[in-house]
Amino acid sequence: LNKYYYDHSAKKDERGASFSRWAGWGDHRHPIHFSGDADTGWAMLQFQVPFTATAGNVGCFFFWSHDIGGHMGGRNEESYTRWCQFGAMTAALRSHSTRDAKMDRRPWTYPKWAEDSMRKSFHLRSELFPYIYSSVAQSCRDMVPLTRPMYIDCPNDENAYQNPQQFMLGDHLLVAPITSPGEGERKIAKQVVWFPPGDDWYNWFTVLKYEGGTEQIIACDIDAFPLFVRGGAPIPTQPYTSRMTASSPSRIVVRMYGEKLKHPTTRYEDDGISMAYTRGKFESIENIPTETHRDSMRGPRFNRVFSKNESPSGFPFAPTIYFYGNEGLDHPAEWKLKQDGVVLASQTTGSTGKIAIPQFENVRRPDLHKPIELVAGAVSMPISILDRAFDVARQATATASSTESGYTAAGAIDGNASGYPRGKQFEWASAKETVGASIKLEWKDPQTIDTILLYDRPNTTDHVTGGVIKFDDGSTVDVGDLPNDGATPVELSFPAKTVRSLTFTVTKVSAQTQNAGISEIAAFHPATK
């Protein structure tokens, strides 16, 4: 029956899809599957974690989904919130329940603390989708489960068999969902996490480092959960979008944690709907460290790229790639862009004063819909800044004194220091304001910061030559001339202060300026090391 529905849904060269219970060996060819009518209790959520991780052991490699929140059993607001965190790190984040008004699964019908947390989970999944999609491509190619128990990656370590509360999502993300109720207003709960040896592991939310081969108790409030990144492994992400699969991303953000680049990563993309990928219609970009990492289980097959047809003729692919991490590269690595097995461009990155970014501009092929571009843009930051916690400006709400049509105040805190002509949405431009134009950042919770970066707009006509930042405690920091290249930031350092808002006001501009603004403002916590 599953095969019938799957084959029936495949029309006009489109991929098939069905939705059913697991039918046993061979049914991995007819996704999507689900784990049955779960209840809303904590015991069920705890059970679903190892149940999901081990599904691949019997052949369900790809799309093992759940009734996120539980199908029956009554309303459980905290449990549903933790279910969403778990679901965001699986093959399908699919909220569902029986027909019961009290179990409505729309997040905005829940208390604000739950709605805010669920929003973070859905946004995180959107941002991680390039990594998830690339990992699914690996699963289809090599039949390794997307979500897998620790012993698949560490078969010779006894600890890998003793920690069913955690699993790997792809090669480089370690997930240990919270499966018990928390305490206090922030509902703080704990989970034991075992970190596989051989690498350092970094908390996705806090950037704190944990040594491999250790076991730690990790406490998280309702807005976070134990999610860790393997050190030295580039993780391809994208800016949040509510329709994350509607089109190919125009910008890829590569986040890397650790002292050096040491693990191979392949970024995969295709059109997402047709069978053209089976005929070579896909793109792949491979990062190849000079010292490839292999272990006894996975072997060299996981270090290869596709043997042929690395990218499709006619498939548009124009991302901007940059590194976002907490330490610099001190290890030579070569990045390649391929099409049909032909290397169109490559660059070796090594130890430099800044994060190295591949610069492949306007590499043209007549059989592509548009030029292939891997452009550094303007987001290379000094290593001294990347040693800090993440840019907290991205957690703020931005409002401006005025905004020119097509531009947004939010574009100044999106982590992308670029703008027109690449994309107006990536920068803030005032509406015919010069001196006096301002942008305000406000946080829900107090933030302690000691460093701010400011990037001018990328066009060379509008140029801010002076300004002032005023904090809600009344203190100010003067801002000098912003380099008129849209690529080099002004770095402002000051004694750490705890604030809820700041306002940047333009006090001086060049004579030709018509729409003062900035492409990016970044704010950082004091160093955590």
**Predicted confidence (pLDDT) per residue in 448-459, tens digit:** 998 898 989 988
Average confidence (pLDDT) over 26-31: 67
Average pLDDT of the chain, as a whole number: 74
- Domain range annotation of the chain: 32-230, 239-376, 386-524
In the predicted structure, residue 397 carries a pLDDT above the cut 70: yes
Gap between the Cα atoms of 44 and 53, Å rounded: 14
Contact (Cβ atoms closer than 8 angstroms) between residue 164 and residue 149 = yes
Average confidence (pLDDT) over 319-336: 40
Contact (Cβ atoms closer than 8 angstroms) between residue 299 and residue 142 = no
- pLDDT of amino acid 56: 79
What CATH code is assigned to 239-376?
2.60.40
The single-letter code of the amino acid at 52 is T
Give the number of other CB atoms < 10 A from CB of residue 307: 7
For 459, the 3-state DSSP assignment is coil
Instruction: Give Rg (Cα) of the chain.
Output: 24
Under DSSP, the state recorded for 183 is: B
Whose structure tokens read 């491999």?
A: 212
Whose structure tokens read 């709400």?
A: 397
Could you tell me which CATH class the domain 32-230 is placed in?
A: alpha beta
- pLDDT of amino acid 509: 96
Contact (Cβ atoms closer than 8 angstroms) between residue 266 and residue 236 = no
Which residues 6+ apart lie within 8 Å of 444 measured at CB? none
Under DSSP, the state recorded for 436 is: B
Contact (Cβ atoms closer than 8 angstroms) between residue 165 and residue 49 = yes
Gap between the Cα atoms of 316 and 447, Å rounded: 40
Contact (Cβ atoms closer than 8 angstroms) between residue 441 and residue 502 = yes
Which residues 6+ apart lie within 8 Å of 250 measured at CB? 318, 319, 320, 423
Contact (Cβ atoms closer than 8 angstroms) between residue 244 and residue 214 = no
- pLDDT of amino acid 212: 94
pLDDT digits (tens, 9 = 90+) for 418-451: 777 767 888 999 999 999 999 999 999 899 998 8
In CATH, which superfamily holds the domain spanning 386-524?
A: Galactose-binding domain-like (2.60.120.260)
